[in-house]
Chains A and B, each alone.
Chain A
């Protein structure tokens, strides 16, 4: 019998080899791929929460995400075969002028773990590029990040472009990055803001649910607002 506790622990510890071994064994046992996926999703949730509490840092998150990615690669053919596919689409990029993408990459990894399809536009992304990709992929969400105070102001261009895109009335924008504050997000009219990659997943999920009318949250969505409305 596959040891799911060990699988979860291996992903939490960033032990890729063990995570892959247990996943292989579980597949050989003929277990449902969704059941095998569960302890890993659980592990990333734990890692995300520990990160939000600053008990761990970016490196720990990266190696955990990498361990999960390697194990999930084995599950993917089975998941696709069973008709499993993401139901939300996020377009991500660092803002125009900003070339620092570690935070954005982490958000991408975490969103994939939360059943988002992620379209990653890389770094130095213009408002036009965000909009074009959102249109092409029928995205629910644009996620912009900035590491520098010199570039974060360029996020205004994306918000303005989305506001003018009459063909995509439900498209939402969430922003984040080291210097990006809730105050700034409010000032520029973003739909969501998160202080780190882990809470970005909760915010993204809530923003999409609100746009779809599945939740009713007023104003800008951020972790404290979510906690207050939990």
Chain B
């Protein structure tokens, strides 16, 4: 099969390794994780990629997504000509942990976990900026702060960092997702430092790359949703996380 992969750059390290092992031909388009700052631009951007692929690649057999539900950002996506496939996952943490069940266990045991991956540490911490309420595509805490000083003055900026950073008080763990694929000591140390400056405890958690491997190998079992051409991907609001619905007739 010829598979077109649209993937969040948060997953680049495992995807690059495992794509090489896939029995299928894989063409990759990676999108920046900083698009998560607002769900709508991310959805629009992924849809744009799907539309482009369908227009430009007559030989593609399926479009596979290196995304989960991602806060609802993938809800509403549709492909017209080929199947659209994605793991039944809330977000990339589920994808790194290898199953919905394992993520649910982690979430129940330690809801206050900030997850680090090699790619999010190296590419600038998009989620940190997002959680700090940045309206821009700021990639990290420093640029978010600078944006606020410029717009609202230092006094208000200090308040905003405190108010918007308040969630950090509710978190108690920084967890680095180890993939075992590349020596990631530099990223791991940076994650440890970011964790320790916030007063959280630091842990490393071993990834399980089964979901990514199955996605790339075309082994789309019950852990995946296959959206048929013309169907729309939507939230299922249950353990399935996502489902496909037929187009509503006007």
Contact = CB atoms under 8 A, between A and B. Distances in A.
A217 interface: no
Nearest to A17: B155
B156 A63 contact: yes
A98 interface: yes
19 contacts: A58-B164, A59-B151, A59-B160, A62-B133, A63-B159, A66-B159, A66-B163, A98-B111, A99-B112, A99-B167, A102-B133, A102-B163, A102-B167, A124-B111, A149-B71, A150-B90, A151-B111, A153-B238, A179-B39
A60 B160 CA distance: 9
Contact of B235 (A62, A99, A149): A149
Nearest to B100: A150
Nearest to B72: A179
A65 to B, nearest CB: 10
A99 B172 CA distance: 11
Main secondary structure of the interface of A (DSSP, over half): loop
A55 B171 CA distance: 31
B90 A184 contact: no
A34 B159 CA distance: 28
Which range contains the number of A residues in contact with the other chain?
20 to 34
A62 B39 contact: no
A135 interface: no
Contacts of B72: 149, 178-179, 181
B7 interface: no
B235 A150 contact: no
Contact of B71 (A58, A105, A178): A178
Interface in A6-54: 14, 16
B135 interface: yes
Given A149-B69, A184-B237, A59 B135 contact: yes
Interface stretch (B44-52, B102-110, B181-189): B102-110
A97 B107 contact: yes
Given A148-B71, A181-B72, A101 B166 contact: yes
Contact-residue size bin, chain B (C-beta under 8 Å from the other chain): 20 to 34
A100 B69 CA distance: 18
B148 A59 contact: yes
Interface in B121-165: 131, 133, 135, 148, 151-152, 155-156, 159-160, 163-164
Contacts of A184: 235, 237
A152 B238 CA distance: 10
A125 interface: no
A66 B160 CA distance: 10
Interface string B165-178: 01100110000000
Given A178-B71, A178-B72, A99 B156 contact: no
Contacts of B91: 149
B25 to A, nearest CB: 32
A123 interface: yes
A179 B71 contact: yes
Contacts of B31: none
Given A102-B164, A153-B237, A187-B237, 10 more contacts: A57-B133, A66-B159, A99-B112, A100-B167, A100-B170, A124-B111, A124-B170, A150-B103, A181-B235, A184-B235
A70 to B, nearest CB: 11
Contacts of B160: 59, 62-63
Interface string A131-153: 00000000000000001111111
Nearest to B239: A153
B160 to A, nearest CB: 5
Contacts of A101: 166-167, 170
A105 B151 CA distance: 22
Interface string A64-98: 00100000000000000000000000000000011
Contact of A97 (B111, B163, B171): B111
